């Protein structure tokens, strides 16, 4: 294959792929895999399509995607390893054992209601509150992504630094 168009109805996922260094490690990992495929000479286009609006061909695309999972005639990429699936499984099991029972049950705490904070600050405080904030230092230490430094001042970006 020399060219591939990947259509997705997840705008959030595509936006995360625009800045993989800011996301969780699996986003950076997926971005690296897409780059590896691109470096092998395949042009990749990521295209957002709206879902559930009766777009012609959408049902056919859903059917083809479902069939592709079980079709052995479709070549598998060696850029994806079983470890990628294992990492996701381990993450889900760890989340189920999260010390905050609300997070473990899938019902995260309510947003912090401080009016003085913007959405980004509230989101950061909520992540710190439940213990799942991905600072630049943590992304670098765990996922090998970035240099671990604060984008604003250049200091090591830890939870204490953010606060």
CA distance 13 to 48: 10
109-137 per-position pLDDT tens digit: 776 666 677 888 888 888 888 788 888 89
Between helix 25-39 and helix 11-18 the angle, nearest 10°, is 70
Q: Which tokens sit at 149?
A: 């430094």
Residue 109 lies in a domain: no
Look up tokens 């381990």; give the residue. 90
Q: Count the domains in the chain.
A: 1
54-83 per-position pLDDT tens digit: 777 777 777 777 777 766 666 666 666 667
The predicted structure's pLDDT at residue 113: 65
Residue 7 lies in a domain: yes
Ramachandran class of 81: left when φ > 0, alpha when ψ lies in -120 to 50, beta otherwise: beta
Task: Give the torsion through C-alpha atoms of 130, 133, 86, 147, to 10 deg.
Answer: -160
Residue 71 lies in a domain: yes
The predicted structure's pLDDT at residue 153: 92
Global pTM value: 0.41
Residue 47 lies in a domain: yes
What residue numbers bound the domain in which 63 lies?
A: 1-78
């Amino acid at each position: 294959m020399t060219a591939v168009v990947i259509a997705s109805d997840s705008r959030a996922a595509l936006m995360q792929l625009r800045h993989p260094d800011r996301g969780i490690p699996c986003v950076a990992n997926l971005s690296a895999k897409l780059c590896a495929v691109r470096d092998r000479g395949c042009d990749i286009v990521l295209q957002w399509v709206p879902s559930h609006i009766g777009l012609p061909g959408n049902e056919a695309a859903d059917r083809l995607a479902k069939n592709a999972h079980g079709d052995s005639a479709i070549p598998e990429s060696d850029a994806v390893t079983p470890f990628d699936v294992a990492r996701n499984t381990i993450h889900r099991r760890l989340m189920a054992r999260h010390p905050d029972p609300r997070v473990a049950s899938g019902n995260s705490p309510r947003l912090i209601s401080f009016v003085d904070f913007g959405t980004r600050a509230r989101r950061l405080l909520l992540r710190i509150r439940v213990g799942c904030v991905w600072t630049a230092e943590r992304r670098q230490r765990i996922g090998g992504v970035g240099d671990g430094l604060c984008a604003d001042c250049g200091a090591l970006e830890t939870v204490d630094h953010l606060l």
